[in-house]
Structure 1
Amino acid sequence: MHIINARLRHRSELFELKIENGIFVGIDVQQGHIEATDVHIDAGGKLACAPFIEPHIHLDAALTAGEPAWNESGTLFEGIERWGERKPMLSEADIRTRVYKTLNLLINNGVQFVRTHADTSDPSLVGLKTLCALRDELKDRIDIQVVAFPQEGLLSYPGGEKLMEEALEIGADVVGGIPHFEYTRELGVASMKRVIELALKYDRLVDVHCDEIDDPNSRFLEVLACEALFNDMGSRVTASHTVAMHSYDNAYCSKLFRLLKKSNINFISCPTESIHLQGRFDTYPKRRGVTRVKELNEAGINVCFAEDSIFDPWYSLGNGRLLRTLDFGLHICQMMGHKDFSQALDLVTDNSARTLSIEAGYGIEVGKPASFNLLEGEDDYSVLRNQGDVLLSVRKGEVIMQREPSKVVTPP
C-alpha cells in the first residue's frame, strides 16, 4: 500500500506513506504533488492520524437502555439499580449480538483499540467470559482490553474478591475497582490496596472507577495514587472519572497534584456522561461534575477522553463518534484556546495509547504497524471544527473502513 498527498499532525508538508507487510517502511516528505495511480491511495491533502482509541466503555451493558426500565432520575446510582435489573437477562448470545453492533459503530468511526469494563458482580461472570472470548476472536479487526470491574463493590459485594480472582484467572487484562461505592470509607481504602496487590500478583494493568461522585469528601484518588507510587507501577494505573475533583477546593488540589505528578498515573474523563450523571443533587449553582481535565493536562499529567456508554442505563445516547466526545469535552472543560485546539486529537489518540500501555505498537512511525485514520481536515483544529466523518481506516496495512468525503457545494 502506498498513500500519497497525506498531511501529518503538526506538519505542513504533504507526505508519502509506504507500507509493506502491514508495517510502515517509509514516511517521506513529497517533492510536489503526486498524481494518483492504481497502486496509490490519494489522501487528497487530508490528515492521516493514528487510530482513535476508546479507553473506557461498558460493552456488556451497551444497547440496553430501557430494559426493563429507564433511568428516570439520570443519576449514577439509579443507573446501577437499572443495570442490576438487567443482569439476570444476560446470556452469551445476548451479549454477543449487542457487542457486535456496538463494535461496528466504533470501527466505522475510526476506533481500532477499546478498553471495556465487564461487571464481575455477577456469579456467572457471563459478561466477562464473553468479552474475553470476543477479544480473542476479533483480534484481527480490533484490539480489546477487558477490565474485571466489580460494579457493586470489590469488598462490599458477597464473594467479590473471589469473583475478581476468578476473572483474572479467566484472562481479564485489567483489575478494576469502585471505592466510592463500597459501604464505608475503610472498605474503599482497603479495596484500593487490594486492587494493587492483585495487579502485582497477576501482572495486570489497573483501571479504577474512582470518586465518581459529587461528594468533595470522596478522596480515594489519593489512596490509589499513593499505592501506585509506593509500588512503582504508576504508568500501569488509571483513574477513571475522578469527578469529585470538580468539588475539591483548590488548596487540597494543590497538595493532591503533587502526589499525582509523582505517581505518574493516567486519567480518563468521560465528559458527556459525567456532565449528565453528576450535579443531580444540585439546584443552582449546578456543578458540571467533570474532573479537572484542563488542569491535569497543563500539569503534564496524562489524561484522555472516552465515551463511556452507548445507549445503556447510565447514558441513553452515544454513537461511537469520539470526535463528538472530544468536541463536547473541550467545551465542558473550557479548553477553547488555540493551543488546546492544535493538540486536541491527543485526547483521543496518543494520550489514550499511553493509558492502555500500547505505545510501542502505536503511531505513524517507520517500523510500527501501519494503522491509521484519514480525517476530514488538514490539522487538529480543522478536523475538530469540521466534525466530519472518518474517511478511511487502515489496520496493519489493510483497509477496514472507507467512505466518500462530503460533497462540496461550488458556485455555478
Structure 2
Amino acid sequence: MDMVIRRVRIEDESPLVDIGIANGRIVAIEEAIDKVGEQEIDAEGRVALPGFIEPHLHLEKAFLHRRLPPRFGTLDEAIRVTGILKSKQERDDVLDRSRQVLDMAVRNGTVVVRAHPDVDPIQGLIGVETALELKDEYRDLLDLQVVAFPQEGWLKTSGVQELMEEALAMGADVVGGCPYNELNWSDTCGHIDRVFDLALARNLPVDMHVDFADDTSDRRFAATEYIARKTIETGYRGRVALGHVTSLGALTTEALKPIAELLQEADIHIVTLPATDVYLGGRRDDGNPRRGLTPVRALHAAGVNVAYSSNNIRNAFTPFGRADPLQIGNLLAHLIQFGTPEHQAEVLKMGTSNAARAVGLQDEYGLAVGKQADLMILDTLTVADALLDLPPRSWVLKRGRITVVTRVESRICRGCGHSHA
C-alpha cells in the first residue's frame, strides 16, 4: 500500500480503524491492517472526514475589501463597487489574490472548489483565464471546477452571449447564470432559457445565482419555480445547482411547500451562502430584521439536497472569511438553529457529501473502499465535536498524497515559573 493511516476515528460509536490507500484510492478500512504502507500516519485516535468541498467561491474578486471600501453594506452597493474594481483587473494581481484563497482552502481541508468567475464586458474573460491556469497549477492539491458566470446580466448586456460561448470553448466546466440582474421578468426568463440552451448544447451542468433578495415582490427574484420546471422539462434533474435563493425565506410555510416539493422532484441542489447572505440581507428592515437565508430547515426536511459554501472572501459582498468550510458550517448551525447532535451531523454533511452531490462528484467521493482518497484528519477525538471544536486539520490528503500537515501547540502558563520570550 502507498499509505496506511493508523488509529483513526470515522464513527463515534465504532472502534478506531486503519485506512489503506493505493493508487490514490481507499483500498481498505479495517480495525488493524496487517500490511505496511510506504508512508504511514499515526492519527492517535483523531477524527477523519472526507475533504471539504466549496461549491461556490469567487476567486478573482477576493481580497478587494480595502481597495474601495463600501459604506452602506448593501447588495446594490457591492455590485457597483465591485464593478468599478473589476474594470481595473490585472492578470498577475488576480492570480495572486486567487492563490491566497486557494491556499487558505487547501490548509482548511478543502479538496474541491467550484469557482464562479465573472464573464462580462467589464473584465472580459480574465477571471476564466486565470481560474483555468490555477486549475492546472493546483491539480495536485485540489480539483477546481470553473463556472462561466454572467454577473452583469445576459440580455441587458451586449456581448455576453459571445463571451459565454468563448469561456466554455476555453474549458469552463459549468454554465452559470444571474437571472435577477435583468431589467424585467420576461428577460429573467430569457436569461434562464439561454443558460439551459447553452448547457444542453454542450452537455454541461448548470449553476446559477438566483433569488438573492429579502422577498419575492419583484418577480425577477422569484425564479426558483421557473427554473425547477425548466429542469424537469429539459431532463436536467440532478445537474442544476442554485446559490443564494434567499427570497424563499420570506415565504409562508404554505407558499413554500409546493416549491420545496418541486425542487426535490427536480433534484436541484441549493447552496446556501450564510456569510454573505446574512451580512447583506435585511438591510432595509426597520425592526426585527430578517436573517437573509434560504429556508434551510424546511428544504432539508422536504428532502432537498442543501449544501453551503463561503462565496466571497474579503470584499464588498463579504468583508470577512478565511475559506474555512468548518467555520461557515458552525455559523450556519447557529443561524438555522441546528444544535442537536443529529442536526450538527447534518451540517457536516452539507459541507462534505451534500456538497459533493451539488458539484456532481458523489460517485468518487467519501470515506469508503473504492473512493478517491481525498480526506482530512482533524485535531479532535470525537466526530461529533468537529463542528464545536473547529479543530486544525492535522493532515490533508488529496488522491492519497499528503498536501497539508498542521502542528499546533498551545500552553497556558499559570505560575509555571519560566520566562517566555
Q: TM-score w.r.t. structure 1 length?
A: 0.94
Quote the Cα distance in structure 2 between the aligned partners of 1:329 and 1:155: 34
Once the two structures are TM-superposed, the CA of residue 37 in structure 1 deviates from its matched residue by 10
Q: Does 1:199 align with 2:191?
A: no
Quote the Cα distance in structure 1 between the aligned partners of 2:158 and 2:348: 42
Q: SS state of the match for residue 271, structure 2?
A: strand
Give, as a single letter, the amino acid of the residue that structure 2 aligns with 1:103: L
% identical aligned pairs: 31
- Correspondence list, 1:233-382, <5 A: 233-382=236-385
How many residue pairs get aligned? The number is 408
- Correspondence list, 1:103-182, <5 A: 103-122=102-121, 124-182=124-182
Quote the Cα distance in structure 1 between the aligned partners of 2:216 and 2:146: 30
- Contact kept, 8 Å, 1:243 with 1:289, in 2: the verdict is yes
Quote the Cα distance in structure 2 between the aligned partners of 1:241 and 1:379: 32
Unmatched tracts of structure 1, length 5 or more: none
Quote the Cα distance in structure 2 between the aligned partners of 1:321 and 1:106: 6
- Contact kept, 8 Å, 2:12 with 2:384, in 1: the verdict is no
Once the two structures are TM-superposed, the CA of residue 214 in structure 1 deviates from its matched residue by 1.1
Q: Which runs of 4+ in 1 moved over 4 A?
A: 36-39, 405-412
- Contact kept, 8 Å, 2:249 with 2:292, in 1: the verdict is yes
- Contact kept, 8 Å, 1:53 with 1:352, in 2: the verdict is yes
Once the two structures are TM-superposed, the CA of residue 147 in structure 1 deviates from its matched residue by 0.8
**Aligned residue among 207, 219, 225 for 2:228:** 225
Q: SS state of the match for residue 354, structure 1?
A: helix
Quote the Cα distance in structure 1 between the aligned partners of 2:11 and 2:169: 41
2:419 counterpart residue number: none
Distance 1:408 1:298, change over 3 A: farther
Query: Which deviations, in whole Å up to 9, do the C-alpha atoms of 1:320-350 show, x marking residues without a partner?
Result: 2111100110111111222102333101100
More off after superposition, 10-19 vs 187-196: 10-19
Query: Which deviations, in whole Å up to 9, do the C-alpha atoms of 1:216-253 show, x marking residues without a partner?
Result: 23210111111111111121100110000111222221
Q: SS state of the match for residue 117, structure 2?
A: strand
- Contact kept, 8 Å, 2:395 with 2:406, in 1: the verdict is yes
Quote the Cα distance in structure 1 between the aligned partners of 2:258 and 2:142: 40
Quote the Cα distance in structure 2 between the aligned partners of 1:339 and 1:66: 40
Query: Which deviations, in whole Å up to 9, do the C-alpha atoms of 1:63-116 show, x marking residues without a partner?
Result: 11132x212111111111011111122122111111111111111111111011
Give, as a single letter, the amino acid of the residue that structure 2 aligns with 1:16: D
- Contact kept, 8 Å, 2:326 with 2:387, in 1: the verdict is yes
Give, as a single letter, the amino acid of the residue that structure 2 aligns with 1:41: I
2:71 counterpart residue number: 72
Once the two structures are TM-superposed, the CA of residue 407 in structure 1 deviates from its matched residue by 4.5
Distance 1:86 1:285, change over 3 A: same
More off after superposition, 401-410 vs 180-189: 401-410
- Correspondence list, 1:48-63, <5 A: 48-63=48-63
2:6 counterpart residue number: 4
Give, as a single letter, the amino acid of the residue that structure 2 aligns with 1:3: I
Q: SS state of the match for residue 8, structure 1?
A: coil
Q: SS state of the match for residue 235, structure 1?
A: coil
Distance 1:315 1:395, change over 3 A: same
- Contact kept, 8 Å, 2:261 with 2:302, in 1: the verdict is no
Quote the Cα distance in structure 2 between the aligned partners of 1:407 and 1:12: 30
- Contact kept, 8 Å, 1:115 with 1:145, in 2: the verdict is yes
Quote the Cα distance in structure 2 between the aligned partners of 1:98 and 1:196: 31
Once the two structures are TM-superposed, the CA of residue 142 in structure 1 deviates from its matched residue by 1.3
RMSD: 2.1
Give, as a single letter, the amino acid of the residue that structure 1 aligns with 2:25: I
More off after superposition, 6-15 vs 179-188: 6-15
Quote the Cα distance in structure 2 between the aligned partners of 1:408 and 1:248: 50
- Contact kept, 8 Å, 1:57 with 1:115, in 2: the verdict is yes
Unmatched tracts of structure 2, length 5 or more: 417-421
Query: Which deviations, in whole Å up to 9, do the C-alpha atoms of 1:276-326 show, x marking residues without a partner?
Result: 011111111211110011111122110111011111121111112111100
Give, as a single letter, the amino acid of the residue that structure 2 aligns with 1:276: Y
